[in-house]
A and B are shown apart, each in its own frame.
Chain A
Amino acid sequence: MLGANRRLRYANPAWETLTGKSFAALRGTRISATRESASPLWKVLAPPVEVWNGSAMQIRRARPDADHGPPWWDISFVPLTQPHGSAVIGFLTQVGEAQEKHSFREPPALATVREHHAKQFTLELFAGSSPNMQRLQQQLRTTALVHASVWIRGEPGTGKETAARVIHHIGPWKEKAFVALDCRALQPYLIEQLCIGRGGFASSKAVGTLLLKSPELLPRELQAKFVEWSEAKNAPRIISCSAKPPGELVIEGSLVPGFLAKLAALAIDIPPLRERFDELPGMVQFFSLGECDEGIWPALRAHSWPGNLRELRSAMNDAAKNASGNLITVEHLPLYLCEMLLIANSPTPRFVPLAETLESVEREAIKAALESSNSQLSVAAKRLGLSREKLMKRMKTLGME
Chain B
Amino acid sequence: MPPQILIFAFDEWLGNQLREAAAERRWVLREVRQIGAFLTAVAEVRPRVAVVQLERVEAGEIYAAIVELRRNQPETPIVFVSDTKVPDGEKADWAARWFDLGARFVMFPPLTRAILEDAVVGLMVE
Where the two chains meet, the residues of A that have a C-beta atom closer than 8 Å to any C-beta of B are 99, 101-102, 104, 106-107, 109-110, 112-114, 116-118, 120, 176-180, 182, 184-187, 190, 194, 198-201, 203-204, 206-207, 310, 313-314
Contacts and interface: CB of A to CB of B under 8 A. Distances in A.
B99 A113 contact: no
A190 B92 contact: no
Interface string B58-74: 11100110110011001
Contacts of B60: 107, 109-110, 112-113
Contact of B100 (A104, A178, A313): A178
Contacts of B57: 107, 110
Contacts of B93: 104, 106, 204, 206
Contacts of B67: 113, 116-117
Contact of A110 (B63, B71, B87): B63
Nearest to A314: B75
Contact of B97 (A114, A313, A314): A114
B87 to A, nearest CB: 5
Interface of B: 57-60, 63-64, 66-67, 70-71, 74-75, 77, 87-97, 99-102, 104-106, 115, 118-119, 122-123, 125-126
A376 B104 CA distance: 86
A102 B90 contact: yes
Contacts, number: 106
Contacts of B90: 102, 104
- Please name the 3 residue pairs, one residue from A and one from B, whose CB atoms are nearest each other, closest first: A109-B60, A204-B92, A185-B126
B97 A106 contact: yes
A187 B97 contact: no
Contacts of A116: 67
A199 B89 contact: yes
Contacts of B119: 186, 190
B22 to A, nearest CB: 17
Contacts of B71: 120
A201 B105 contact: no
A179 B58 contact: no
Contact of A204 (B96, B104, B118): B96
Given A107-B58, A113-B101, A313-B75, 5 more contacts: A104-B94, A180-B104, A199-B88, A201-B96, A206-B93
Nearest to A179: B99
Nearest to A161: B74
Nearest to B59: A109
A113 B63 contact: yes
Contact of B87 (A102, A178, A186): A102
A198 B88 CA distance: 9
A113 B122 contact: no
A201 B87 CA distance: 14
Contacts of B70: 117
Contact of A206 (B75, B92, B104): B92
27 contacts: A102-B87, A104-B90, A104-B93, A104-B94, A106-B93, A107-B58, A109-B63, A110-B58, A110-B63, A113-B64, A113-B101, A114-B97, A116-B67, A117-B102, A118-B100, A120-B71, A184-B126, A186-B104, A186-B122, A186-B123, A190-B118, A194-B95, A198-B88, A201-B95, A206-B92, A207-B96, A314-B75
Nearest to A194: B95
A187 B122 contact: yes
A244 B93 CA distance: 32
Nearest to A189: B118
Contacts of B94: 104
A199 B118 CA distance: 20
A185 B99 contact: no
A104 B87 CA distance: 10
Contacts of A102: 87-90
Contacts of A104: 89-90, 93-94
